[in-house]
Structure 1
Amino acid sequence: MDELVLVTGGTGFIAQHCIIALINAGYRVRTTVRSLSREAEVRANLKAGGVELGERLSFIAADLNSDDGWAEAAAGCAYAFHGASPTPSGSYASEEEWIKPAVDGNLRVLRASRDSGVKRVVLTSAFGAIGAGHKPLARPFVETDWTDLTGNVAPYQKSKTLAERASWDFIANEGRGLELASVNPTMVLGPALGPDYSHSIRTIREMLEGQPGYPKIKTCVVDVRDVADLHLRAMTDPAANGERFLATSGEGLWLAEIAKLLKERMGMAASRVSTRVLPNILVRSMALANPAMKGLLPLLGAKLDASGEKAERLLGWTPRSREEAIVASAESLLRLGLVKT
C-alpha cells in the first residue's frame, strides 16, 4: 500500500478528495499543479479534509499545454489519476481553448505514464462525455452512450468527449500494455474544502444566497467522496480495466427540487432559497443577453437520468444518497464562511 500514485491537477475539487482517499488508504501521492505557489493552499485544504499528510504528499509543476514536467511527474508511480482539464467555471474565448488542453493534456499524461511503467491510469472524465447532444431518451444513460457531437453540445462537454475518445484511441494504438479506466461523474457535490470549489457547488451557494429562480434543468448528483472512492476501486480492481463507470446516485433531480430539499433540511440557513422555476421562454430571452446561459438551452426540460448500476455491480461501489451529498455541500459552504450574507 506504500505505492506512489500520481494525481494531476492538485488544486481541483475532485483531485483533492482523491488525494485524501489515497492517503487514508496508505498510498503516497505526487500531485501536479501549474504553479508551486499554490502548494500551501492545497495542503491547507487537505488538512481541512481531515488528512494527516506528513511526507506522503509531494508536488511538481506541470501544465497541460506543455511537455515540461510530465515525465518527472509520472516517474516511479504505480498508478495515475488524471482529472486536470478546463472546467465550466473557466472563461475561454474559443472552443479551441477548451478542447486543445483537454485532449493534449490527456495524451501527455498517458504518454508519460506508459513510458514510466505506470500500471493503470484512471481518467476523470464526465457525464458531459456521455449525455450531451442526444434526442430525449426513454431510459437512463449508461456507459455505452457517448455524447453526440453533431447535436447541440457546449464547449466543455465537447472537450471532455474528444479528450476521452482520444484517450481510448491512444490505449488501443499506442498504449503498449498501459491500462485505462474512466470515471464519468454527474453533478459532483459534497463537502467543499476551501474557497476554490467545483462549479457544481457554486450552484448550491447561489441557491443559499437567494438566486431568484432556476431553469427547468434536471441533473443527477454524486458525492465527491464517492467519486474518489470509485477512482480507488477502478485503480486496482481487475474488472475495471478498459471500462467506463458512471458515478451517480439515484434518479435525477430538477434544480427546483434541490432547492426545496435545502429549504427542508437547512432551516434558517436556507431562508433565502427560492423554489421558483423560471419559464423556458424567460431563460431563452436571458440567454440572448448572457452568452454564459446559452449552454443551458439544450438542457431545458431534458430528463438527464443516468445509471450507476455498473460500478455498483462490478466494483461493489455504494454511493451516499443524493440528499446527503446536497446537504454536505451546503453545510461545508456555511462552515467555511463562503455564503454571502
Structure 2
Amino acid sequence: MPPSDLILITGGTGHLGFRTLRYALECGYRVRAVVRSAEKEQKLRSHALLKNYTDDTLSFVIIPDFLAEGAFTKAVNGVKYIIHIASPLATGAPDNADAEKYFIQPAVEGTIGVLKAAHDHGKGILRVIITSSIAALFPKNYMDDPSKFPDFAVSSQRHQEYPHGPFPNTMAKYSASKLAALIRAEEFVRLHMPAFDVIHVHPAYIYGRDDLAETKSDFETGTNRIVLDPVLGTARTDAFMSAWIHVDDVARIHVQALDANVQGNQSFVVAVSDVLFSWDDVCRIVARRFAQAVRDGRLLNNGSYRTVYVPFDVTKTIDTFGPFKGFEETVVSVVGHYLEVLSREK
C-alpha cells in the first residue's frame, strides 16, 4: 500500500470507529483522525494499541463542531479517501432527547458537511464511505414495536421516504436520523455529481470486543450490553431482533470498500440473520466457554430474550467482501473482554 494513501476518518473514539481506524492502519494506510477535542486526541494517542504509530502514520485534526460552516474544509486537504462514521447513537441517548436536534440534524449536517468539503476540494479524493444502518432500510413503525419487524428480506435496494415524527422512542429517532442522512447524501450525489463516489455501509447491531472499554461501567452503554445483559441477568427487554454483526467485519468492510475493484455509488447491508439463530444461544455459549465464571457467580447467565427473526439479503455483501464471523466468536470476544476488565478492577 503506497504511503501516500491517506484516509480521513471520523468517529474514531467510538466502538466501530476505533476498530476501523486500527484496521486501516493495519492495512498500511495513513490515517488522519477527526476528534472533537484535545482530550479525545490524547485518549487515542496514548492508547496501548496506537501509541507506537508515528505522526507520519497517524495524525489528528480537532473539529469541535461538525455542524459549523466549513468544518471539514481543512481536514480533507491531501486525503485520498474519507470514512465518515461519526453520528449520534441510540445507546446512551437520553429518553427525552429531541429527535431533530439530538439525532437528525447532527446526522444529516455532519454527513453533508463531509460531502461538501470533499466536493469543494476538487480532484484527489476518490471515495467516501458513509456508515449508515439497517435502521435506514425499513419503515419507522418496525422500530417502534419488535413484533412488527418485516417479513420481507431487507436489502440495500429499498428505503423509505424522508422521515417525519412523531417518534415514540429513542430507537425510532435514531432510525429517522440514519434514513434522513442517507436520503440527503443520495440527493447530494445526484445534484452535484462529485468527482468521487460514495458507498453506504448498513450494519446491523454491532457486537465484539471494544478496546476503548476499560472499566466495568464502560459496558453499561453501547451495543455490547445487549450481549451482556442476559449473561449478567439484567436484560432490559423481553424481545430482540435476530440481526447482528461482529465489529471486526464492519470495520473490515469499511476499509475494503476503498478498493477500486469495488464499484462505487452503491450500498451494502452488513448483517447476520440466520433463521436458526436464538438469543438463548448466548447463555449456552457462555455456560460452555466460561464455565468457571458461571460457577463462581461472576456471570449469572440466567437471562433471555425472545428472538424476533428479521431476514436480510446480504448476498451482494458476502460476494464482494467474503463471509462474516460467527456468533460464538462474537459472544466470546465480548464476554471474555468483560471478564478481563472485571479482573483488573478487582
- When normalised by structure 2's length, the TM-score is 0.82
Question: Which residue identity is paired with 1:324?
Answer: E
What's 1:215 paired with?
A: 238
**Gaps spanning 5+ residues in structure 2: where?**
143-147
What's 2:99 paired with?
A: 95
Q: Does 1:21 align with 2:6?
A: no
Shift of 1:187: 1.2
Kindly tell me the number of residue pairs found equivalent between the two proteins: 316
Shift of 1:76: 0.6
**Gaps spanning 5+ residues in structure 1: where?**
279-300
Q: Does 1:275 align with 2:303?
A: yes
Shift of 1:139: 3.7
Question: Which residue identity is paired with 1:31?
Answer: A
Q: Does 1:39 align with 2:41?
A: yes
Q: Is the 8 A contact 2:11 2:85 kept in 1?
A: yes
Shift of 1:306: 1.9
Change (3 A) 1:129 1:234: same
Instruction: Give the 5 Å matches for 1:300-339.
Output: 302-313=308-319, 315-337=320-342
What's 2:178 paired with?
A: 160
What's 2:157 paired with?
A: 144
Whole-angstrom distance in 2 between the partners of 1:163 and 1:41: 28
Shift of 1:38: 1.2
Post-superposition CA distance 1:76-99 (Å, at most 9, x none): 100000010001122362111210
What's 1:294 paired with?
A: none
What is the SS of the residue equivalent to 1:263?
Answer: helix
More helix by share: 1
Q: Does 1:114 align with 2:119?
A: yes
Whole-angstrom distance in 2 between the partners of 1:150 and 1:93: 16
Question: Which residue identity is paired with 1:36?
Answer: A
Whole-angstrom distance in 2 between the partners of 1:316 and 1:277: 31
Q: Is the 8 A contact 1:187 1:219 kept in 2?
A: no
What's 1:289 paired with?
A: none
Change (3 A) 1:119 1:212: closer
Shift of 1:251: 1.5
Deviates more, 1:170-179 or 1:188-197: 188-197
Q: Does 1:125 align with 2:129?
A: no
What is the SS of the residue equivalent to 1:232?
Answer: helix
What's 1:230 paired with?
A: 253
Deviates more, 1:165-174 or 1:187-196: 187-196
Change (3 A) 1:212 1:104: closer
Change (3 A) 1:43 1:319: farther
Change (3 A) 1:51 1:339: closer
Q: Is the 8 A contact 2:151 2:310 kept in 1?
A: no
Q: Does 1:194 align with 2:212?
A: yes
Q: Is the 8 A contact 2:13 2:40 kept in 1?
A: yes
Whole-angstrom distance in 2 between the partners of 1:205 and 1:276: 11
What's 1:246 paired with?
A: 269
RMSD of aligned C-alpha atoms? Answer: 2.7
Whole-angstrom distance in 2 between the partners of 1:192 and 1:136: 28
Shift of 1:232: 1.5
Deviates more, 1:225-234 or 1:60-69: 60-69
What's 1:281 paired with?
A: none
What is the SS of the residue equivalent to 1:155?
Answer: helix
Whole-angstrom distance in 2 between the partners of 1:57 and 1:154: 36
Deviates more, 1:16-25 or 1:327-336: 327-336
What is the SS of the residue equivalent to 2:83?
Answer: strand
Whole-angstrom distance in 2 between the partners of 1:274 and 1:85: 34
Whole-angstrom distance in 2 between the partners of 1:316 and 1:51: 30
Shift of 1:339: 10
- When normalised by structure 1's length, the TM-score is 0.83
Change (3 A) 1:212 1:113: closer
What is the SS of the residue equivalent to 1:337?
Answer: helix
Q: Does 1:179 align with 2:192?
A: no
What is the SS of the residue equivalent to 1:163?
Answer: helix
What is the SS of the residue equivalent to 2:153?
Answer: coil
Post-superposition CA distance 1:176-198 (Å, at most 9, x none): 22210011111111111022577
Shift of 1:22: 0.8
Shift of 1:333: 2.1
What is the SS of the residue equivalent to 1:74?
Answer: coil
Q: Is the 8 A contact 2:270 2:317 kept in 1?
A: yes
Post-superposition CA distance 1:285-308 (Å, at most 9, x none): xxxxxxxxxxxxxxxx74223232
Whole-angstrom distance in 1 between the partners of 2:304 and 2:149: 24
